[in-house]
Structure 1
Amino acid sequence: MKVTVGEKLGTATEPPCDDTPNDGQDEPAAPASRTAYAVEGVAPGIAIGVEGVGS
């Protein structure tokens, strides 16, 4: 599916993940901050585009 990216909305924070038990790390990784963009024709409450995610 091809989407058209709209205006910059701000920063999106990807929460840390610790979904692999017994991997030797007691704490999840730090959250990642990425730039969020509107998707043309779709309300931001429904979908956003996030820099560095997808292709």
Structure 2
Amino acid sequence: MHDQVLVALISTIGSIVVAYLTTHQSKKPSVNDELVRENEKLKKQLEEKQREDT
């Protein structure tokens, strides 16, 4: 009986940790999102330079 309680507690704690990490990671922007934003910024800068050069 004691072993079953320990297994249940460890499983519960593991599930809580996984749920926390999953929600915490989903709030962060992914690397792809950051690269898309940086790409848009660089495209705008390039367009501005091209306008200035003409």
TM-score range, shorter chain: under 0.3
Which structure's CA Rg is the greater one? 2
Q: TM-score, normalised by structure 2?
A: 0.18
Under a length normalisation based on structure 1, what TM-score does the superposition of the two structures give? Answer: 0.17
Point out the structure with the larger helix share: 2
Larger relative contact order (Cα-Cα within 8 Å, sequence gap ≥ 6): 1
Q: Which has the higher strand share?
A: 1
